[in-house]
């Protein structure tokens, strides 16, 4: 079955994470993505050997997952013949995507002005660090840009170091934004015949990632949204993390009298061994009281929740979903891998890895299309594996010319 | 100026911040978005306490901008039928309501697609369209708790951390999924159902940590790792400066940066403990982090920022929201905007994370009051007469 984006051709001149993952979204839904890499070593992501001080193992998942469903072409863009090949590719493609520095693209004559002259219908997409109107010029990596947004310094307990949202968290968002930008520009091109230049930067994306608290802070300048807050003084003690006997859980109950009463009843029924039941405690009898006495209420809930396992609490609370009581044990990745819903929705998928000749589990399709679902047809390509076929079949070079290109060092 | 999504009409049945933003992203680029506001209290299930107090509803300003509002009684069949009629005249419907509610209201995919077969119907869910939790409440905290990131975000021994941004991946996934389905529809004439869940969004945000666990496994991938036990002392690390702010470094290719970086932290480039990548990231990894910890601590944050800029290093200071709010390039790129709200006056809001040279995002309209466009929407799209609209208003089917 053809994917939703079948018929689109994308030139993917990107390295590391943010750029490659943008093209991955398009490739998952059926676009033909041609990854163009330098002949020597290719994308730097191919060189990742360890993660968290552990060897990556026998397959480099960093590279292979975000470059799945792609072809690879090795081109030396420093040579005139290499650039000529790139221009021919651009002529026959819908999208050019790059996250290389603007100075690189200029040196290789791959600017928007130059490529749109070759193909006026081209969508020219970049994933930059600080945006098209940047004043900062230094290299941009996920964490150093996340640092600027303010996202990190509001997380964690007061006095603890700031918290990074996870490896590639911002790159992933910038990549998704770029994929959206490309589809927006293609929609416009299909209507008007005109290409354009689009950009989704790490900085812009990560500011948007902060929206729930950044937007609130902009309106109020209230430090509650911008600085570390102790869980022991949660703004709503009923919407907070608690440690059960065996593990942490998250409790999501709105600070409303009816919901609190329903929750208190379950705590009571659990025979949690408190002398004074929560329901009769005057301090906690009103919305304002629960907020004013947040520390005392968190402490009381800490003591009660700790008496039973997360599983026991879930069994008590599950029937109360319609009373606005929701909760979940706080899982680990090991739990996630066993999660039936995760598999049912293809959020994790099995696919065959040529490199190690066995099936491996990879991140699947976070977006579900009922009629044209995303698919994994192959993991990341070997460096330059499709170079000659693309030259021959798509670009019309003959074998003599291909030999000359090799001699000129344009291709390996 | 032309708009990227000119001519596209979207019926917005969302109630949560993230669902609303998913639809607003389409409006920002020129789609006509009609927001359906019920007459009763919002059935949103997300954290109410996130919503900032005060006269100006900052979240609505972001999530409902560039939309028109129709206030209609969804508890009446007449009201629901108006919404269905609007969907028939549109390209996309987007919602983040519970499936059971949608079925009860007759606003589910099956009902609407029977009347409008090429409809693109997008639903933001909690845990995806299939599986045991297909109907569970779409609350970001619950999805984050299921993802596996919360325990490993803090330093060892500290409570798990709810990061709060997972929903924002989902918001963009909804918009991306809709555009993907529209491209398919343009080629084939076929509509379909799109789902993006909070769990899918949180998992995607956890991408590399999760993938590393899948491929490498082991206890280390399930536990918080001390910041002084990082895999690479020069990448993904943070150290505290003399005056308090934290410094963060990301220079994965240490061979390339070491000759520039070493003198800045008072080390000789040929220091035999650290003179190769393998020593820095292997045998002398932990020692190097202690050395960097002490070196960074000797000088203030301002010094470090100057050095990083001067030497073009991928390293920076960990800031708070004050920083981007005052950063001129943030305004130049329109990542933050000053907007003129009709009731609250001048306010700062998040702007547009996507740059387009020919069809840039625009703020055509600030968030509407509930029902602000009820009459106009019914007249423009359904061709209802003034009398018919008055009758609906008198019957309490619509407001505004």
- What is the SS3 assignment for chain A? CCCCCCCCEEEEECCCCHHHHHHHHHHHCCCEEEEEECCCCCCHHHHCCEECCEECCCCCHHHHHHCCCEEEEECCCCCHHHHHHHHHHHHCCCEEEECCCHHHHHHCCCCHHHHHHHCCCCEEEECCCCCCCCCCCCCCCHHHHHHHHCCHHHCCCCCCCCCCCCCCHHHHHHHHHHHHHHHHHHHHHHHHCCCEEEEECHHHHHHHHCHHHHHHHHHHCCHHHCCCCCHHHCCCCCEEEEECCCCEEEEECCCCHHHHHHHHHHHHHCCCCCCCCHHHCHHHCCHHHHHHCHHHHHHHHHHHHCCCCHHHHHHHHHHHHHHCCEEEECCCHHHHHCCHHHHHCCCEEEEEECCCCEEEEEECCCEEECCCCCCCCCCCCCCCCCHHHHHHHHCCCCHHHHHHHHHCCCCC
Cα→Cα distances A97→A20, A192, A201, Å: 9, 21, 13
- Is B326 inside any structural domain? no
- Is B173 inside any structural domain? yes
- Mutation pick from B165, B197, B337 vs chain A, by most beta carbons of A within 10 Å, is B165
Chain B residues with CB under 8 Å of A183 CB are 176, 179-180, 183
The whole-chain average pLDDT of chain B stands at 96
Same domain, B191 and B252: no
**Complex ipTM above 0.95?**
yes
pLDDT of amino acid B53: 67
Same domain, B41 and B183: yes
pLDDT band at B1; cut points 50, 70, 90: low
Over the stretch A127-149, which tens digit does the pLDDT of each residue have? 999 999 999 888 899 999 999 99
- Mutation pick from A24, A178, A209 vs chain B, by most beta carbons of B within 10 Å, is A209
Chain B residues with CB under 8 Å of A59 CB are 215
Same domain, B94 and B235: no
From B293, B318, B343, the end of a domain falls on B318
Interchain pair B130, A341: CB under 8 A: yes
Q: What percent of chain A has pLDDT over 70?
A: 98
Same domain, B251 and B390: no
Q: How are beta strands A196-200 and B354-356 bridged, if at all? A: antiparallel
Q: Searching chain A, which residue's CA lies closest to the CA of residue B358?
A: A196
Rounded to the nearest angstrom, the gap between the alpha carbon of residue A6 and the centroid of all alpha carbons in its chain is: 23
Chain A residues with CB under 8 Å of B61 CB are 215, 219
- Is B134 inside any structural domain? yes
- Is B334 inside any structural domain? no
Same domain, B296 and B373: no
Same domain, B114 and B200: yes
Total number of domains constituting chain B: 2
Name the more confident of A270 and A245: A245
B51, B144, B215 member nearest A61 (Cβ): B215
Over the stretch A195-225, which tens digit does the pLDDT of each residue have? 999 999 999 999 999 999 999 999 999 999 9
The whole-angstrom distance between A345's CA and the closest CA on chain B is 6
Q: What percent of chain A has pLDDT over 90?
A: 92
Interchain pair A194, B358: CB under 8 A: yes
How much is the average pLDDT of B241-268? 97
Same domain, B127 and B28: yes
Q: What pTM did the predictor assign?
A: 0.97
Same domain, B186 and B41: yes
B141, B324, B328 member nearest A252 (Cβ): B141
pLDDT of amino acid B47: 76
pLDDT of amino acid A88: 98
Same domain, B37 and B67: yes
- Is B264 inside any structural domain? yes
Over the stretch A23-38, which tens digit does the pLDDT of each residue have? 999 999 999 999 999 9
The whole-angstrom distance between B385's CA and the closest CA on chain A is 33
A165, A213, A215 member nearest B205 (Cβ): A165
pLDDT band at A280; cut points 50, 70, 90: confident
- Is B71 inside any structural domain? yes
- Is B94 inside any structural domain? yes
Same domain, B88 and B183: yes
Name the more confident of A201 and B253: A201
Same domain, B117 and B25: yes
The whole-angstrom distance between B43's CA and the closest CA on chain A is 11
The whole-chain average pLDDT of chain A stands at 95
Interchain pair A239, B173: CB under 8 A: no
Chain B residues with CB under 8 Å of A161 CB are 155, 227, 238, 240, 246
The whole-angstrom distance between A359's CA and the closest CA on chain B is 11
Lowest mean pLDDT among A8-17, A162-171, B327-336, B338-347: B338-347
- Is B137 inside any structural domain? yes
pLDDT of amino acid A1: 66
Q: Pull the structure tokens for residue A141.
A: 């990596």
pLDDT of amino acid B254: 95
pLDDT of amino acid A271: 64
Report the CATH number that the domain containing residue B123 is assigned in CATH: 3.40.50.10540
Residue B52 in this model has a pLDDT that exceeds 90:
no
How much is the average pLDDT of B167-185? 98
Is B207 in the A-facing interface, judged by CB distances under 8 Å? yes
Chain A residues with CB under 8 Å of B315 CB are 144
How much is the average pLDDT of B206-225? 95
**Portion 252-281 of B in contact with A at CB < 8 A:** 252-253, 281
Residue B49 in this model has a pLDDT that exceeds 80:
no
Same domain, B111 and B153: yes
The boundaries of the domain holding residue B300 are 227-240+246-318
Largest Cα separation within chain A, whole Å, is 90
Q: What percent of chain B has pLDDT over 70?
A: 98
pLDDT band at A272; cut points 50, 70, 90: low
From B271, B300, B318, the end of a domain falls on B318
Residue A273 in this model has a pLDDT that exceeds 70:
no
pLDDT of amino acid B162: 97
pLDDT of amino acid A69: 98
pLDDT of amino acid A242: 98
pLDDT of amino acid A186: 98
Chain B residues with CB under 8 Å of A180 CB are 25, 172, 175-176, 179, 354
The whole-angstrom distance between B86's CA and the closest CA on chain A is 23
Give the A:B interface size as CB pairs under 8 Å: 507
The whole-angstrom distance between A351's CA and the closest CA on chain B is 12
Interchain pair A147, B353: CB under 8 A: no
- Mutation pick from A120, A156, A187 vs chain B, by most beta carbons of B within 10 Å, is A187
pLDDT of amino acid B343: 83
From B295, B318, B341, the end of a domain falls on B318
Is B249 in the A-facing interface, judged by CB distances under 8 Å? yes
Residue A270 in this model has a pLDDT that exceeds 80:
no
- Mutation pick from A320, A347, A359 vs chain B, by most beta carbons of B within 10 Å, is A347
């Amino acid at each position: 079955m053809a994917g939703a984006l079948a018929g689109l051709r994308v030139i993917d001149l990107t390295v590391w994470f943010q750029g490659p993952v943008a093209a991955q979204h398009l490739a998952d839904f059926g676009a033909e993505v041609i990854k163009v890499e330098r002949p020597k070593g290719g994308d730097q992501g191919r060189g990742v050997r360890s993660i968290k001080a552990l060897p990556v193992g026998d397959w480099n998942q960093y590279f292979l997952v975000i470059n799945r469903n792609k072809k690879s072409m090795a081109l030396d863009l420093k040579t005139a013949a290499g650039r000529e090949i790139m221009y021919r590719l651009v002529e026959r493609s819908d999208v050019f995507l790059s996250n290389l520095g603007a100075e690189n693209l200029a040196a290789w004559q791959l600017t928007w002005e130059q490529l749109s002259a070759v193909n006026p219908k081209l969508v020219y997409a970049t994933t930059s660090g600080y945006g098209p109107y940047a004043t900062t010029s230094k290299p941009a990596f996920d964490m150093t840009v996340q640092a600027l947004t303010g996202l990190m310094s509001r997380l964690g307990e007061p006095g603890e170091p700031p918290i990074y949202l996870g490896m590639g968290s911002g790159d992933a968002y910038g990549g998704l934004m770029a994929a959206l930008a490309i589809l927006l520009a293609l929609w416009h091109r299909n209507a008007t015949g005109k290409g354009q230049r689009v950009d989704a930067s790490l900085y812009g994306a990560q500011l948007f990632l902060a929206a729930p608290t950044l937007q609130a802070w902009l309106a109020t300048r209230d430090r509650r949204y911008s600085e570390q807050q102790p869980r022991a003084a949660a703004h709503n003690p009923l919407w907070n993390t608690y440690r059960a006997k065996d593990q942490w859980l998250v409790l999501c109950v709105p600070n409303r009298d009816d919901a609190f009463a329903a929750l208190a009843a379950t705590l009571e029924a659990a025979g949690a061994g408190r002398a004074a039941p929560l329901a009769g405690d005057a301090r906690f009898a009103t919305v304002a009281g629960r907020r004013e006495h947040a520390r005392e209420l968190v402490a009381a809930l800490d003591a009660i929740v700790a008496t039973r396992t997360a599983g026991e609490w879930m069994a008590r609370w599950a029937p109360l979903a319609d009373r606005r009581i929701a909760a979940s044990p706080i899982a680990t990745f090991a739990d996630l891998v066993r999660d039936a819903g995760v598999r049912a929705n293809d959020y994790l998928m099995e696919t065959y890895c040529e490199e190690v000749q066995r099936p491996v589990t990879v991140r699947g399709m976070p977006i579900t299309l009922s009629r044209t679902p995303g698919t994994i047809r192959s993991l990341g390509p070997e460096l330059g594996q499709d170079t000659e076929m693309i030259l021959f079949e798509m670009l019309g070079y003959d074998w003599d010319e291909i030999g000359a290109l090799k001699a000129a060092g344009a291709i390996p | 100026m032309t708009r990227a999504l000119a001519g596209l009409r979207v019926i917005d049945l969302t109630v949560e911040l993230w669902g609303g933003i998913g639809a607003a992203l389409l409006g920002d680029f020129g789609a006509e978005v009609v927001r359906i506001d019920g007459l009763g209290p919002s059935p949103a299930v997300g954290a109410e306490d996130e919503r900032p107090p005060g006269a100006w509803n900052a979240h609505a300003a972001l999530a409902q901008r560039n939309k028109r509002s129709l206030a209609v009684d969804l508890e009446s069949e007449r009201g629901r039928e108006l919404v269905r009629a609007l969907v028939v005249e549109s390209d996309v419907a987007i919602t983040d309501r519970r499936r059971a509610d949608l079925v009860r209201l007759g606003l589910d995919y099956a009902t609407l697609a029977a009347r409008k077969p090429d409809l693109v119907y997008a639903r933001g869910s909690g845990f995806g369209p299939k599986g045991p939790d297909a109907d569970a409440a779409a609350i970001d905290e619950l999805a984050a708790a299921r993802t596996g990131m919360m325990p490993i975000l803090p330093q060892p021994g500290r409570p798990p951390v709810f990061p709060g941004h997972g929903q924002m991946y989902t918001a963009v996934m909804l918009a991306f999924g809709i555009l993907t389905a529209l491209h398919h529809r343009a080629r084939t004439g076929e509509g379909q159902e799109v789902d993006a869940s909070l769990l899918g969004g949180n998992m995607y945000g956890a991408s590399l940590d999760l993938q590393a666990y899948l491929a490498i496994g082991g206890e280390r991938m399930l536990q918080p790792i001390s910041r002084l036990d990082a895999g690479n002392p020069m990448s993904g690390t943070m150290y505290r400066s003399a005056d308090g702010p934290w410094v963060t470094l990301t220079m994965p290719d240490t061979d390339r940066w070491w000759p520039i970086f070493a003198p800045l932290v008072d080390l000789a480039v040929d220091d035999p403990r650290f003179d190769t990548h393998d020593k820095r990231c292997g045998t002398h990894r932990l020692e190097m982090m202690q050395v960097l910890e002490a070196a960074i601590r000797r000088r203030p944050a301002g010094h470090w920022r100057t050095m990083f800029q001067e030497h073009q290093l991928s390293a920076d200071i960990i800031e708070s929201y004050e920083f981007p709010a005052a950063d001129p390039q943030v305004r130049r790129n329109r990542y933050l905007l000053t907007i003129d709200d009709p009731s609250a006056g001048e306010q700062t809001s998040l702007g547009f994370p996507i740059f387009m040279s020919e069809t840039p995002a625009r703020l055509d309209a600030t968030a509407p009051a509930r029902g602000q466009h009820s009459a106009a929407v019914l007249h423009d799209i359904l061709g209802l007469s003034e009398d018919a609209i008055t009758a609906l208003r008198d019957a309490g089917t619509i407001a505004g």
